[in-house]
Amino acid sequence: MKQYKPTTPSRRSMTVVDYGSLSANKPHKPLLKRLPSNSGRNNHGRITVRHQGGGNKKLYRVVDFRQMKLNVPAKVETIEYDPYRSAFIVKIIYSDGERSYILAPQNLKIGDGVIVSENASLKTGNRLMLKNVPVGYFVHNVELTRGKGGQIARSAGSYAEVLAHEHGYTNLKLSSGEIRRVLWDNFASVGQVSNPDHNLVTIGKAGRSRWLGIRPTVRGTAMNPVDHPYGGGEGRQPRGTRRPKTMWGKITGGRRTRNKKKRSGKLIIQRRK
């Protein structure tokens, strides 16, 4: 983590991730795309996700979560920052000359080789079938459906630990503590996702949230009764409702929101703590 001299009150507590390990190269232009900014609005123009809008301009990097080029060796060219995700990404070049972006595993270096194969070697960055990964190894970018691309363990510092292989399934323990079964013919990449210090970042000041596209949040207790269940009263008042609620009156905190009829529920062995 990088800390600053306390030249201002906000600078005193501000911290950022040290980007010294990243390449100084510009991003690969053919893999860049401009995504429209909707500021949390739907196709009717109504805000459906609050506290979004503004922020610095950014270009989306097309990251290959599927990695379908089997048995074609590739080499790491650069390690780069991605404004759309918490993890770093790496640009790889395949032996046939094609370039693509993939999620950067922890401790992967420029010049290292990576390959996608059903039984690739257990080296950081390689991608192989779950049934060929021994118990105790960390994997990331895990597929839930064969060929759809990785959906589990993609954010900074996340991983899934292989616990067991049985009856066509691999048991994975996620960093949240949840244990779930995944078909062992699905692909996963070896290692932990890069930038594990991301959760230690201290924003430090309101303006930095605005750079990230996050607008201010008003406390419910500061509103009027018509606007929120916590609103109103003379001076500072207690919550006034027995259970915590959203501004629309829906109970939050202590109520499980997962659909009991969801088909993948039977694959979850142990819920997160």
CA distance 118 to 128: 5
Tokens 């009764």 map to which residue? 225
How do the pLDDT tens digits run along the chain, 273 residues long? 999 999 999 999 999 999 999 999 999 999 999 999 999 999 999 999 999 999 999 999 999 999 999 999 999 999 999 999 999 999 999 999 999 999 999 999 999 999 999 989 999 999 999 999 999 999 999 999 999 999 999 999 999 999 999 999 999 999 999 999 999 999 999 999 999 999 999 999 999 999 999 999 999 999 999 999 999 999 999 998 999 999 999 999 888 888 999 999 999 999 988
Rg (CA), the chain: 22
CA distance 146 to 185: 7
What pLDDT score was predicted for residue 273?
Answer: 81
Q: Indicate the domain borders of the chain.
A: 18-199
In 10 A of CB 193, how many CB atoms?
Answer: 26
Reference 256, options 247, 269, 265, 267; nearest CA is: 265
Rounded to whole angstroms, how far apart are CA atoms 93 and 30? 13
pLDDT of residue 256: 87
Contacts of 138 (CB under 8 A, 6+ apart): 159, 160, 161, 162, 190, 191, 192
Confidence (pLDDT) at 68? 93
User: 18-199 falls under which CATH superfamily?
Assistant: Nucleic acid-binding proteins (2.40.50.140)
